[in-house]
């Protein structure tokens, strides 16, 4: 498994080695030793899976208490996945990194605790799975607007495809109004 660096040092992309032949393929989706060597010291306590249709945009989500680290991947379809550094004391505060995750590229994206996370579905449908370092705590969940101009995410929104969002995500706050990490 290759570990790829991003413009934010704490955020990593894991690219598994895929072994394929006439029967199909095999790959390791998770190795604790590789994760630790890349700087990940957290333990995972919860796995989640979601399914979304084309044009669905989820995020930017985070938990102000019980912050979750997430190791995310797509098992069906394609998404544009984004993380934003929400740690005020970080040299990369308010910067974002995005990457395409797909069933074809098998990549995993590490979203450290203290980061906001969101994704946009590029394919007709996408199934998304993630390992979390803490339990979901809805009372601590916060949402920052996906289109906050201070952050300036360049979402690859598709022409002619309606962007579909939840009421919660539509009601997200600006970065300036949001409760953030020190």
Q: Is residue 25 among the annotated active site residues? A: no
Helix (H, G, I), strand (E, B) or coil at 157: coil
**Which one of 106, 117, 120, 130 is the catalytic residue?**
130
Q: Is residue 130 among the annotated active site residues? A: yes
Element (H, E) at 37: helix 32-37
Pairing of strands 78-85, 141-143: unpaired
Instruction: Find, among 76, 72, 165, the residue nearest to 127 by Cα.
Output: 76
Distance of CA 25 to the CA centre of its chain: 25
Element (H, E) at 3: strand 2-5
**Which one of 25, 61, 106, 120 is the catalytic residue?**
61
The dihedral of CA 61, 120, 175, 108: what is its sign?
A: positive
One-character DSSP codes across 110-153: EE-TTEEEEEEE-SSEEEEEEEESS---GGGEEEB-TT-TTT--
Catalytic residues: 61, 130
């Amino acid at each position: 498994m290759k570990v790829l660096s991003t413009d934010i040092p704490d955020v990593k992309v894991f690219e598994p080695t895929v072994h394929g032949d006439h029967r199909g393929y095999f790959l390791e989706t998770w190795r604790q030793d590789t994760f630790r060597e890349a700087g990940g010291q957290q333990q995972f306590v919860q796995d989640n899976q979601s399914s979304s249709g084309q044009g669905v945009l989820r995020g930017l989500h985070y938990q102000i208490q019980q912050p979750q680290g997430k190791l995310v991947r797509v098992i069906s379809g394609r998404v544009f996945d984004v993380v934003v550094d929400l740690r005020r004391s970080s040299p990369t505060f308010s910067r974002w990194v995005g990457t395409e995750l797909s069933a074809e590229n098998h990549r995993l994206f590490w979203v450290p605790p203290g980061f906001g996370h969101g994704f946009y579905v590029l394919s007709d449908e996408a199934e998304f799975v993630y390992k979390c370092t803490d339990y979901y705590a809805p009372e601590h969940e916060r949402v920052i607007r996906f289109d906050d101009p201070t952050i300036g995410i360049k979402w690859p929104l598709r022409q002619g495809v309606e962007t579909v969002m939840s009421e919660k995500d539509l009601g997200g706050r600006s970065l300036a109004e949001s409760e953030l990490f020190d």
